[in-house]
Chain A
């Protein structure tokens, strides 16, 4: 691990014995939701990444358990619905979830049990942050972590729509959005994420994004030597790359891993909602308001004339059917 001025290089190291000040502050924020004029970051942290090697994962859920413990969440004790996923989905109390897929490989006709740890991908181009209307509810640090600042969250669920991976969950209790923080509070004090620390097979590793990519290369070479020709790294460019990456045995078919999107990007609907709609909409409303104003100022008010009042009086007073009176 390098000095205290930058990102931690691993999740394996033990915690420092001395208390440390947080090394992730306002000066490290590079994007802030619903904030256009952000002061420039005071420094550039080394980008970090969590690499999840699906081929090494044994689905033990130690990551889930560590996540619950570290974040002190309270997932409900549910019931069995015939599958191994428990809880059955990500929730505001379960930021990461092992998703199990029984897949018969058509090439070999043999069963593969694909187990993918689902959770926030920490996109370089985060859809949640783009969609978020609440200033400062979502921030992105220069080390790549996308974090939810709960006191600023208003619970609108826009992040849910913005996310290409279906990750954020809104608490029914406090109406705030929750997801994996990449253990920003641990990373801030030189620690790796709790899940990576707990992973018994080091299927989850943590370090600089560059190191993780290198590590992935070795893993991919190993998988290729075992006949997984399409083994590869999942670091989707559509969202600018992610700070949580996967090593997949079948990188050509990410969807088989419980619907991992093939080429994720922020939905064009969200793009146009937060983009063109916003600008055109404001323009249209402005145009209407200004147009009315101009018409009101320069135009003549549409007033009723005395003649018209009299005509009406005549009409009402007359006994017979009113004659087709002259038009005023």
Chain B
């Protein structure tokens, strides 16, 4: 989230698209009802299904899953055509005026530089024209034919309401009604918020879905303002924390990257990251990259990390592929290239796509360790559960270690919510039986491994032997110790560069925040963006002061928001070029002539003059990007791409399948189905009664939604002879499931490209362990393909077939 949950109450228009906030985030959704009740805000829901969010909406429009870019580009086009643009904002705070290199272009659904063999683009033409001074060239009049604005205008011109209707199946009138409502938020005193979730991310073109909305929000002037923003509703209470702390194979903490094989030394690594500004006077905060990186390395290896050894840069693994994401791991597992798998708080048998492939992969392991507070299907993947897990137990030789862990209510620590708030929590219960904290388990494994390396040596024992492990009880680091380490501290006295006699932070003391981090080895910090969470003032995450001056929704003394307790990112953009709030009634910051004042921590230096430093300090340009240069693999502008399994061909290029640069493993190509074989468009989702695969263990949740089902329209049910509450079989090229049929008016057939498209909804909460009835999940059916940039598996758009059945045990009708 750029903003916070509590800030949603400030909005005038809520667009829920690519998510289902009321069902998947009911507690956060209260802020939508607040905005509706107290500001008269309107709610728009665009979704293939009429969801429980739609049930409280002002306008609902159906859309075919996977076609969101077409819809959003259509809205951008509508806004441009109808002059619904916050011009002052767009000109000042976006790269609309930047001039793009000659040679950049887009045709037949592809940008320039496409290599079909490599399934990749040569992105060199996707960049600005640079002047002699090294700065990007701009045309503030927006008349240059190759300025970003004109290229954007040209790019979206194709997305007429007619084309939107043809691709998305959204009735033209509904689309226009929504486009008009959104367009009204181009007024500086009207804001719109975008609430999205995995309905946008879990596509092969997920990042572009989000970009399309972000661009729309930028031209409406809705980023950085109260009640605006791009608000990703995170799917777990701490999934934001997971990304922040870099629990991904290509990330270190705080969005520092893992080095690649092409970066054998620290200097090379840093050269492509320590960005210099692309416009005069801009901040480009990544100039501080080395301070964060060195502090991270000091946190990892302490005294072993020295300037001479590049702070132990050689300890850090170098990636030979873009990422060892989960899809690649299971691909490798299937090839017998992975022997052991530590599965901590994950249930891949239900969570990862193409369950058949997942189970086959696990069956080839030598050992599998699961750490979970609950029984999981993954821990039991070898157990035969009849039709629900029909495996040949004897043929599986994987040794499974099932380690029970504490659950959130039995532990203490912090959870980072969607609004980037690090909220400390305390145990409410004592863990049962042999359950142990994850930190205990990890520490015990580490200590034993270190001992083995110490005694027996190994190929490269140094990173493990030298790992900094300075905990009171090495066998069980305390959450507060870890939090302090994440915040960072001074290793030697930090002196004021202006006045060396002045000690800013004494050795051993916590740094106030990341502004005090240095790249000379005098500071350490486990995760720079979290720095400030636990400083000498104490555990700021444990703060529970609910005061909210002037009811802005900021609640500045409630826990700690990263970065620097900032509640709204890019908040400088809430004021015009001169520092006056666009909407005085929704002031966040204001330039008082000497400094920025207001309700939030400004994201530029507090004394940076209004016209000097632009709000988007993490970008080299200082402004936001309507044109993303080569930063995404699949295009600088979002362009419509069909899902890999789609009921219709891409109208821009019928030969193009899915995202042209998404990675496909060879073995998976044969497992894509066609619309002839599998005519129905399936999607997966959560239900409000459950949380993933956890709550099926709880008798209350299980009673409230006991059994696996699929949803389909009355029309399709009639066509197929499917009855309400009857059994159906749903199958794809990859698997087959049996489910109860919920026949509903809430799903209606769509007309896309002249073809009737029936949507089948498949919720994801059932498996073969737990209190609820045994069932299946959509991952038995979904394809093994990830998002082109980040490899998030695509669960939201694939093809299936359906027929009435006699249930899992019965003979197919």
Contact = CB atoms under 8 A, between A and B. Distances in A.
A256 interface: no
Given A65-B700, A77-B773, A115-B52, A102 B705 contact: no
B704 A61 contact: yes
A59 B27 CA distance: 12
A56 B37 CA distance: 9
Given A58-B56, A83-B725, A225 B742 contact: no
A74 interface: yes
B17 interface: no
B744 A79 contact: no
A61 B689 contact: yes
A58 B26 contact: yes
Contact of A104 (B701, B709, B745, B772): B745
A247 to B, nearest CB: 11
A287 interface: no
Given A79-B773, A111-B50, A225-B40, A74 B22 contact: no
Interface stretch (A146-154, A179-187, A197-205): A197-205
Interface in A210-227: 218-219, 222, 225-226
Give the most central of A61, A87, A104, A202: most B CB within 10 Å.
Answer: A61
B447 interface: no
A58 B703 contact: no
B56 A55 contact: yes
B162 interface: no
A86 B705 contact: yes
Contacts of A84: 705, 742
A69 B700 contact: yes
B771 A77 contact: yes
A60 B24 CA distance: 9
Contacts of B723: 82
A113 B699 contact: no
A78 B30 CA distance: 30
Given A69-B700, A102-B744, A201 B30 contact: yes
A86 B772 CA distance: 12
A86 B704 contact: yes
B56 A56 contact: yes
A203 B33 contact: yes
Contacts of B704: 61, 64-65, 86
Nearest to B771: A77
A201 B740 contact: no
A57 B37 CA distance: 13
Interface in A84-103: 84, 86-87, 94, 102
A64 to B, nearest CB: 6
Interface string A60-75: 1110110011000011
A62 B724 CA distance: 26
Contact of A79 (B32, B53, B55, B706): B706
A174 to B, nearest CB: 19
A218 B701 CA distance: 34
A102 B702 CA distance: 24
A57 B699 contact: no
A107 interface: no
A77 to B, nearest CB: 5
A60 B33 contact: no
B706 A86 contact: yes
B725 A80 contact: yes
A61 B706 CA distance: 13
Nearest to B714: A102
Contact of A68 (B60, B703, B709, B744): B703
Contacts of A79: 706-707, 740, 773
Task: Identify whether the interface residues of A are mostly helix, strand, loop, or mixed.
Answer: loop
Contact of B56 (A57, A68, A222, A225): A57
Contacts of A110: 60
Contacts of A104: 745
A211 to B, nearest CB: 16
A115 B688 contact: no
B746 interface: yes
A86 B40 CA distance: 33
Contact of A222 (B36, B53, B707): B36
A74 B725 contact: no
Interface string B694-730: 0000011111111111000000000000011110000
Given A58-B55, A80-B708, A202 B30 contact: yes
A76 interface: yes
Given A83-B725, A200-B26, A59 B52 contact: yes
B220 interface: no
Contacts of A114: 55
Nearest to A56: B33
Contacts of A62: 26
Contact of B699 (A60, A77, A87, A111): A77
Nearest to A62: B26
A82 B742 contact: yes
B29 interface: yes
B708 to A, nearest CB: 7
Contacts of A297: none
B743 interface: yes
A77 B744 CA distance: 23
A62 B30 CA distance: 13
Nearest to A114: B55
A80 B709 contact: yes
Contacts of B724: 81-83
Nearest to B20: A58
Given A104-B745, A111-B745, A219-B37, A200 B27 contact: yes
B33 A80 contact: no
Contacts of B725: 80-83
Contacts of A252: none
Contacts of A202: 30, 33
Interface string B50-83: 1011111010100000000000000000000000
Contacts of B42: 226
Contact of A78 (B26, B701, B706): B706
B325 interface: no
A113 B746 contact: yes
Contacts of B27: 200
B740 A82 contact: yes
A77 B702 contact: yes
Interface string A29-62: 0000000000000000000000000011111111
B703 A76 contact: yes
Given A68-B703, A77-B703, A112-B55, A60 B745 contact: no
Give the most central of B36, B52, B60: most A CB within 10 Å.
Answer: B52
A104 B56 CA distance: 15
B58 A201 contact: no
B23 interface: yes
A96 to B, nearest CB: 12
Contacts of A222: 36-37, 40
Given A58-B29, A74-B699, A201-B29, A82 B743 contact: yes
Contacts of A58: 22-23, 26, 29, 52-53, 55-56, 688
Nearest to A76: B703
Nearest to A98: B704
B61 to A, nearest CB: 10
Contacts of A219: 37
B152 interface: no
Nearest to A219: B37
Contacts of A60: 22-23, 26, 52, 688-689
B741 interface: yes
Nearest to A57: B56
Interface in B740-776: 740-746, 771-773
13 contacts: A58-B53, A58-B55, A60-B689, A77-B703, A79-B706, A80-B706, A81-B724, A82-B724, A82-B740, A83-B724, A104-B745, A113-B54, A218-B37
Q: Which 7 A-B pairs have the closest CB atoms?
A: A82-B725, A82-B724, A58-B22, A80-B707, A113-B55, A81-B725, A80-B740
Interface of A: 55-62, 64-65, 68-69, 74-84, 86-87, 94, 102, 104, 110-115, 200-203, 218-219, 222, 225-226
